[in-house]
Amino acid sequence: MRWLKPSLRSSIYGLLGNPLPPSESVMETGTEDIRESMLAVLGDAGPKHFPQITRRIRYANDIQALWYLRGDLMGALAAMHGEVEARHRVASVTEMFDGLMPESQHSRPSPLVG
């Protein structure tokens, strides 16, 4: 039955829009790169002014946890730098998730943004 598991996983990823799931090493490397990038955009002021967010990013278990922490990151960055700069910085982090998340979990374009 072990041969069924990879085939089933590939089928599910195919239905979600990805032809094959990323390998474990790609996921681990990508997760760590994203974690470091999120901490970097918070900068030196992050741990001092937003220790909870810094801690949650540092100890997030997986790529999905980091994905959902983007909202908290946006809030912290907006408080420090303003919304326009925060959106720019979060967008650079969001690009790093390409190929690591199922397409169904990616952000959808807002009809309000023009």
Residues 6+ apart with CB under 8 A from 19: 10, 13
Average pLDDT of the chain, as a whole number: 79
Tens of pLDDT along 3-52? 444 555 555 555 555 555 555 654 566 789 999 999 999 999 989 999 99
Q: What pTM value is reported for the model?
A: 0.68
- H-state helical runs in the chain: 4-15, 24-42, 45-49, 51-58, 63-68, 70-81, 83-94
Contact 35, 60 (CB under 8 A): yes
> Domain boundaries in the chain?
19-100
